[in-house]
Amino acid sequence: MLTPDQARDTAAALVERARAAGADTADAIYIGGLSQSVQVRMAALEDVSSSEGEQIGLRVFRGHRSASVASSALTPDALAILVDRALAMAAEAPEDPYAGLAPSELLLQDTAADLDSFDPTHVDPAELKARALEAEAAALAIPRITNSGGASASVSQSVLALATSAGFAAASRSSGHGISASVVAGEAGALQRDYDYDSARFLADLEEAQIIGQRAGRRAAARLDPVKPVSGRMAVIFDPRVASSLLGHFVGAISGSSIARKSSFLIDKLGAQIFAHGIDIHDDPHRQRGLRSRAFDGEGLPTSARKLIDNGTLTGWIADSAAARQLGIMPTGHAVRGVSGAPGAGPGNLYLAAGTRTPSELLAAHPRAVLITELIGMGVNGVTGDYSRGAAGFLVEHGEIVGPISEITIASTLLDMFASLEPGNDLALRRGIDSPTVMIPEMMIAAA
């Protein structure tokens, strides 16, 4: 894996080589990474893995024709072949009037901000094994836990560099630490499984292995002896672990490509009140140590914090340059990409701002409710906003958990859910997409 400076210079040199060979414009992206992980099960070492790899991608333009190619070989001969292949492919590609690099005047001009994304702490396999064993042991110590699906611990580092023929060249590096545990509760014929995990840029920010294991064990044990709910309309409370999925549906619906293709249920909602007053959704790509923090996007544009929902109102789309041209707007600094293909659009650190009521108060807000802790299947239509998913969790009556439930279906439309949802006050900023507990006053519940 190259250093950030080496990666930046390699990407810039590849762009210059493409320009010299006949490309009108070009950009190149380098992604390199290394990782180690240890997996244990029932106190025995199950797997140790270590990997290191790197790739470089080149995108060339000849007029409105473009092509993208990638290679894991970075030798001069391999890069020369890469350039020739890209130009030959571009000559045969169809014209796209919206294709092209980001406008040069919008590129990041200053030095990229340091977002404190890299932890130099060395972690050896023995430490990873000890952490995984501690998590599993804590989970197995919970009453009624009878088996383990395994526990793991990991560490990783990565380098990303981007260069364009418009004069942009920069690189960043990041690190990651992770831990997870999965266990089974109950006996044959009445088994339940659950899990917990955490990930962080810095080892010092990672939750303790014992806490991860205990939480996984308690979650699995709590799912035993399910009760059967009555079908009908009732309040639904989404645990933070699954509430973040609602933000994923939202951000997918406001991506420039979805709007340009007219394949979003929010296509005519720009500037409209789609959430209740007081609801804010933030995109913060500059959070220190954030899992999705970035100083520049996949096209070299500067990133910035913004409210995607401000007091319930949709403030705008998120768009890469191609989608922005199609929509007649400016690109928003949300381009995301890999080494192959054109960029798409995605948020930085996305979160739903906290509300005022506690989770307990939300549970007690209705005589009967279901608390959802797991979602199953992909029954969400991004074009119409229809929502129907399998789920599991707990039946709640008068604020008290009656018992676990499974094999139910919850259904509504995302527009109705967005308009009525209320966030709890328990927001924790730990992942790339974060949400507090969310209550939706009414959804259709169907028991199997």
pLDDT value, residue 230: 85
| Separation of alpha carbons 234 and 189, rounded Å | 30
Q: Which two tokens stand for residue 125?
A: 């396999």
pLDDT value, residue 377: 87
Cβ contact 339:55 at 8 Å: yes
User: Could you tell me which residues come within 8 angstroms of residue 9 by beta carbon, excluding any fewer than 6 positions away?
Assistant: 169
CA 169 distance to own-chain centroid: 25
Give the DSSP H/E element, type plus range, for residue 235.
Answer: strand 232-238
Indicate if the alpha-carbon torsion angle 405, 409, 414, 417 is positive or negative: negative
Alpha helices in 71-124 (DSSP H): 76-92
pLDDT value, residue 160: 97
- Is residue 446 helix, strand or coil? strand
pTM: 0.95
Q: Which two tokens stand for residue 244?
A: 């973040």
The residues of the chain that CATH labels 3.30.2290.10 are 4-220
* Of residues 153, 208, 135, the one with CA closest to residue 38: 153
pLDDT value, residue 423: 98
pLDDT tens, N- to C-terminus, the chain (448 residues): 999 999 999 999 999 999 999 999 999 999 999 999 999 999 999 999 999 999 999 999 999 999 999 999 999 999 999 999 999 999 999 999 999 999 999 999 988 889 999 999 999 999 999 999 999 999 999 999 999 999 999 999 999 999 999 999 999 999 999 999 999 999 888 899 999 999 999 999 999 999 999 999 999 999 999 998 889 999 999 999 999 999 999 999 999 999 999 999 999 999 999 999 999 999 999 999 999 999 999 999 999 999 999 999 999 999 999 999 999 999 999 999 999 989 999 999 999 999 999 999 999 999 999 999 999 988 899 999 999 999 999 999 999 999 999 989 999 999 999 999 999 999 999 999 999 999 999 999 998 7
**In the chain, what is the straight-line distance between the N-terminal and C-terminal CA atoms, in Å?**
51
Give the DSSP H/E element, type plus range, for residue 251.
Answer: helix 240-253
- Is residue 45 helix, strand or coil? strand
In the chain, the largest separation of any two C-alpha atoms, in whole Å, equals: 72
- Any idea what the Cα angle at residue 364 is, between residues 388 and 238, rounded to 5°? 30
What number of other Cβ atoms are within 10 A of residue 367's Cβ? 11
| Separation of alpha carbons 91 and 60, rounded Å | 10
| Separation of alpha carbons 333 and 319, rounded Å | 7
Strands, E assignment, 347-424: 349-352, 368-376, 386-397, 400-413, 422-423
User: What's the full length of the chain, in residues?
Assistant: 448
What's the half-sphere exposure (Cβ side, CA atoms, 13 Å) at 95?
3
Cβ contact 253:383 at 8 Å: no
- Residue 424 DSSP class: -
What number of other Cβ atoms are within 10 A of residue 86's Cβ? 27
Which residue in this structure is represented by tokens 């080494």?
A: 339
Phi, psi torsion values for 232, nearest 5 degrees: 150, -170
Which residue in this structure is represented by tokens 């989970």?
A: 139
CATH number, span 4-220: 3.30.2290.10
- Which burial class, exposed, middle or buried, applies to 126 when counting CB atoms under 10 A from its CB (0-12, 13-18, 19+)? exposed
What number of other Cβ atoms are within 10 A of residue 45's Cβ? 13
pLDDT value, residue 56: 98
pLDDT value, residue 323: 97
Question: Between the CA atoms of 365, 366, 372 and 373, what dihedral angle is there, to the nearest 10 degrees?
Answer: 40
* Of residues 108, 109, 101, 115, the one with CA closest to residue 172: 115
Question: Between the CA atoms of 61, 67, 72 and 77, what dihedral angle is there, to the nearest 10 degrees?
Answer: -60
